[in-house]
Structure 1
Amino acid sequence: MSRHDTRPRRGLPFVFAPLAAALILAGCASSRGLAPEGRALDADALVAQRSFADAALSDAAFPRADWWTGFGDAQLNALIEEALAGNPGLDAADARVRQAVAQAGLADAARKPTLGASAQYSGLQLPETVAPEPLGGKYSGVEVLSLSFKYSPDLWGGHRARWRAALGQARAAEVEAQAVRLSLSSNIARGYVSLAQAFQAQDVALAEKRRAEQLLALGRQRVKAGLDNQLQIRNAESASAAADQQIQSAQQQIDSLRNALAALLGKGPDRGLDIARPGALAAQAPAVPAVLPSELLGHRPDVVAARWRVEAASHGIEAAKAEFYPTVNLSAIVGLASGGLSDLFTRDARLIQGGPAISLPIFDGGRLRNQLAGRDADYDLAVANYNQSLVGALREVADALQAARSLDGQLASAQQARDAAQQAWQIASTRYRAGLGTQLDVLAAQRPLLQLDQQLAGLRAQRLAAGIDLDRALGGGLPVQASDPVAPLSERSDSSSIHAIAKAPTP
């Protein structure tokens, strides 16, 4: 074999030896010993059967999207619809969604080849003091027309992982925008219930004012007749002043709640003045789905968004790991270049440049390892937030359900007490009309009746608020986007169910 024939074969190992050594170094120094520690909770492991034992269970007990219509108040329905159409907070949430979608689009674009065209003219004249003739003192120009092509093949899946991480963040932002809508509607419903209670408290205060005035007038008559002393008058004056304070307090609360509702609508305080007194609101019997707690994952926007962020963080780990491996960049330029327009489109003006470029991470001062460690920490934080959201969601359901059950019992007891007080007041009135009792007896019997009316109004408002909290805790009936979930690192779950995402294994 000739020396000419052996040179390429002897030279080939010398050409690839540095590449092989770099690959070995990069692989050995990569991600060894780095891994996330977080583990997502299994919802079925959160036992809640005894807490929900006394609740009405149903396969269809998740709220409807318009759950607030169950209160039977047309004005409340109109207020929530108005808020959902024009609240600035919703505009901000929607802007965050568009921002996240744009970031996902940028990550997707980075995976694809690019092709660009350019036209350039460049001129140069060197002074003769720098370069003698024929170079110096002569102006030369070059016209260039070119097409440039760039592409970085995704050999290790890093580009795809970055795109799917950004996509997961975008989906989380979409679900969080739904959570903002749920929070807005529930806050309006709660404010409306509080407004109804404030009007009822004002009614009781006005009734107490009338009772105190009757006591004051009766006391003055008795003192004038020598049947009583000033103590009765002073007590009546105190009760009248206290009733005035309660009336003013109730009016201040009414004004404040109207302002709050107007702000939730995205309007000025004058809009609140147009909100009429709420009518009687119906409190529905509390019920929870029989599939809790596992199916809660697919109905709570905050839990779903937290899981999407776990998925995004897992793909962030993939992208960070891909940084440890060599990258290949393909580029090419094809065009025409000439010193004059007349020669630009001739065969001799052809310009061709291109080829692959390989870059290898060998020693980087620990940048890649720290970057991967940061992605691992991001994942652990996302898992912790998800676990916290899941546990908190189940606690909110239990709290709302238990509160509703307790308040139903308290309302029943308070209603019994009120019925007894009503009968006592009727008996005192009957005795007074028959000449067997005094007007003082009637007014004294009226006081516990008014106190129980105020107590009942507060308990009814709390019961309505517990129903709102339960609807909110169960997800508010919002249609959570559950299609095409982002699978975890190992691509082990392609299910289109959010429930499957929530149970997917973590890296």
Structure 2
Amino acid sequence: MTSLPRTRRWTAAALPMALFAALATGCASTHGLAPSGAPADADALSARLTLGDAVSDQATFPRQDWWTALGDPQLDALINEALRGTPSLDVADARMRQAQAQAGLADAARKPSLSASAQYAGLRIPETLAPEPLGGDYTGVGIVGLNFKHSFDLWGGHRAKWEAAIGQARAAEVDAQAARLTLSAQIGSAYVGLAQAFDAQDVAKAEQARAQHLLALGKQRVAAGLDNQTQVRVAESAIATARQQEEAASHQIETQRHALAALLGQGPDRGLSIARPTLLKTPAPAVPALMSSELLGHRPDVVAARWRVDAAQHGIKASKAEFYPTINLSAMVGLAAGNLGDLFSSNALLLQGGPAISLPIFDGGRLRSQLARSDADYDLAVAQYNGSLSTALREVADAVASARSLDAQIADVTVARDAAQQAWTLAGTRYRAGLGTQLDVLAAQRPLLQADQQLAALRAQRALAAIELNRALGGGLPLTAPASATDATASASTTSAP
């Protein structure tokens, strides 16, 4: 039996030892690297005392078509028209498809690949470089083959990258849903603004008519020598102010119609066909008893933030897997021949392939920096999740507080308006009985118009509070959240690593 040369035997024996030494002393380490963030416990963020009697066991989260509760068919039609497609929704949907495609790429990267190739290469070596028979002779080679490649996912790194991309895709899907909620709320808000502008226009017209009557009466009294020019000048000032208010209201009607048309993805002419809104219904504010914990699955920004925490957690796993050895398998089966006529002969079979193993030893700190970045990405995602949760609770509490305050203000102003109405009626009765003057009637009308103006503004704000509460509670969107966000820190930190 022929033995190997001494040098080759020494190399064969030393190679495993050198590999072992590299594994034992030289490989990159994850020591000291770990995320520091922890998702907040929603149940620990109490809001029950703040919400008070607004919390009800019978209350439910909004329906997906929550705007129908406001009771205006035109508003229903506008929102449904917008949800069929606008540029803002197209942007959100395109971003969702981008994230889904990225998840598809991550999934493809962890699967075997098989490709076909055909190649022809020729070479002629000059005689000045090599004598005959090599020099001066042209040699051509044709190769046709199938190439197989596969990287074994021994440590779960490829799967973790895919799951991270899935988490980002899920977050983008929720963002696309959130865009629909935002759009419907924006249309509702602009519609309320349009209703308020019409109410303001009515009050301005009534005030202008009152001032015109006051001016005519003042002129009559001056002509009869019963009064001086003071009342005339006061009336002229009131007329000019009322005209300015009417013009401002008309401008507001125009701009709100333009805003609604733009939200529908249409030109300004679309707004011209929007009729005056009817009085919107505003039910008493009510939130579910388990709002704090269940809000996690209803608020799109909170759900999207949870998916990003989940994605960042898998990103840490993928970065840690980079510290381990990788095994790749590649193979090629094909035909090769110097003469194309012999390419498909039985002697042209070409086989090449085998496994390859690699292990990072010295990389200038690249892997540790990559893991540190993944840890920071996770901490950022957790901080954003915690922030979105507290913001969600604050927005619900703010909407409830606004609704309560506005209901109380509306009740007070309604009492004041009723009193002003009675005073105006009484002044008219006294005038018709000859016990008062027209000036008394016109003076009594002004507090009534001011109360009408206040009521219109308060009712608009109350409708906005109702819209905001529906939005803050998630708008009834059908959302799917990760199984648990509170286990993410432990899972991200305890994954074994070198």
| Counterpart residue number, 2:65 | 66
Structure 1: give runs of 5+ residues left out of the alignment.
486-499
Letter in 1 for 2:159: R
Give the aligned partner of residue 42 of structure 1.
Answer: 41
Please tell me whether the aligned partners of residues 140 and 339 of structure 1 are also in contact (alpha carbons under 8 angstroms).
yes
More displaced 10-residue stretch of structure 1: 50-59 or 99-108: 50-59
Secondary structure in 2 aligned to 1:502? coil
Alignment of 1:440-459 (within 5 A): 440-459=439-458
Larger mean Cα displacement after TM superposition, 332-341 or 122-131? 122-131
- The Cα offsets for residues 263-289 of structure 1, whole Å up to 9 and x where unpaired, read as 000001111111111112111121101
Name the count of aligned residue pairs.
488
Quote the residue 2:249 is aligned against.
250
Q: Residues 343-366 of structure 1: CA distance to partner in whole angstroms, max 9, x if unpaired?
A: 222232111111111111111111
CA contact (8 A) 1:286 1:405 kept: yes
1:166–1:25: structure 2 CA closer, same or farther, 3 Å change rule?
Answer: farther
Within 5 Å, which residues of 2 pair with 1:274-313?
274-313=273-312
Contact between 1:43 and 1:293, CA under 8 Å: does it hold in 2? yes
Match of 2:24 in 1: 24
Matched, 1:504 2:493: no
Q: Secondary structure at the match of 1:50?
A: helix
What displacement does 1:3 show?
Answer: 8.4
1:59 Cα deviation from its structure 2 partner: 4.9
Partner AA of 1:21 in structure 2:
A
Match of 1:123 in 2: 122
Any conservation in 1 of the 2:313–2:488 contact (CA below 8 Å)?
A: no
Q: TM-score, normalised by structure 1?
A: 0.93
Deviations 1:323-347 (A, max 9, x none): 1111111111111111113322223
Instruction: Name the CA distance, whole Å, in 2 between partners of 1:23 and 1:89.
Output: 53
Partner of residue 232, structure 1 = 231
Per the alignment, residue 397 of structure 1 pairs with 396
Unaligned 5+ segments in structure 2 are 493-498
Shift of 1:138: 1.9
Q: Deviations over 1:293-324 (max 9, x none)?
A: 00000000000000100111111111111111
Tell me, yes or no, if the aligned pair for 1:26 and 1:360 is still in contact at 8 Å.
Answer: no
Counterparts of 1:35-434 in structure 2, within 5 Å, are 35-434=34-433
Q: Structure 1: how far apart are the matches of 2:352 and 2:85?
A: 56
Greater displacement, 265-274 / 57-66:
57-66
Partner of 1:461: 460
Read off the aligned partner of 1:283 and give its amino acid letter: T
Q: Deviations over 1:226-282 (max 9, x none)?
A: 111111000000000000000000001110101011000000111111111111211
Deviations 1:470-501 (A, max 9, x none): 0000000011134xx4xxxxxxxxxxxxxx42
The 3-state SS of whatever aligns with 1:199 is: helix
Aligned to 2:479: 480
| Residue 436 of structure 2: aligned partner | 437
- Cα pair distance change 1:33/1:454, threshold 3 Å: same
Q: 1:26 to 1:381 in 2, by over 3 A?
A: farther
Whole-angstrom CA distance in 2 between matches of 1:275 and 1:343: 79
What does residue 495 of structure 1 align with? none
Other structure's SS at 1:476 match: coil
Q: Which runs of 4+ in 1 moved over 4 A?
A: 6-13
Q: 1:295 to 1:58 in 2, by over 3 A?
A: same
Give the match's secondary structure for 2:84: helix
Determine the C-alpha separation between the residues in 2 that align with 1:26 and 1:435.
109
- Report if aligned partners of 1:23, 1:326 keep a CA contact under 8 Å in 2: no
State the distance in 1 between where 2:323 and 2:8 align.
31
Cα distance in 2 for partners of 1:281, 1:454 equals: 17
**Alpha-carbon distance between aligned partners in 2 of 1:99 and 1:86, rounded to the nearest angstrom:** 18
The more displaced of 347-356 and 224-233 is 347-356
CA distance in structure 2 between the aligned counterparts of 1:434 and 1:63, rounded to whole angstroms:
56
Residues 297, 502 of structure 1: 8 Å contact kept:
no
Does the 8 Å contact 1:195/1:258 carry over to 2?
yes
> What letter is aligned with 2:291?
L
**Partner SS, residue 62 of structure 1:** coil
User: Retained in 2: the 8 A contact 1:26–1:324?
Assistant: no
* 1:119 CA drift (Å): 1.3
Q: Structure 2 CA distance, aligned partners of 1:259 and 1:3?
A: 92
How far is the alpha carbon of 1:10 from its aligned partner?
8.5
Query: What one-letter code is carried by the residue in structure 1 that aligns with 2:306?
Result: R
Counterparts of 1:11 and 1:134, CA distance in 2: 37
Secondary structure at the aligned position of 2:471 is classed as helix
Partner AA of 1:24 in structure 2 = A
Q: Which moved more, 1:118-127 or 1:182-191?
A: 118-127
Return the offset for 1:122.
1.3
In 2, are the aligned partners of 1:62 and 1:288 still within 8 Å (CA)?
Answer: yes
SS in 1 for 2:296: helix
Call closer, same or farther: CA 1:26–1:425 in 2, change over 3 Å.
Answer: farther
Q: What CA deviation, in whole Å up to 9, does each residue of 1:56-89 have, x standing for no partner? A: 4135520000000011111101110111112101
Q: Give, in angstroms, the shift of residue 7 of structure 1.
A: 12
In structure 2, the CA distance between the partners of 1:332 and 1:3, relative to structure 1 (3 Å rule), is: closer
1:63–1:471 contact (8 Å) kept in structure 2: yes
- C-alpha change, 1:26 and 1:293, in structure 2 (3 Å) is farther
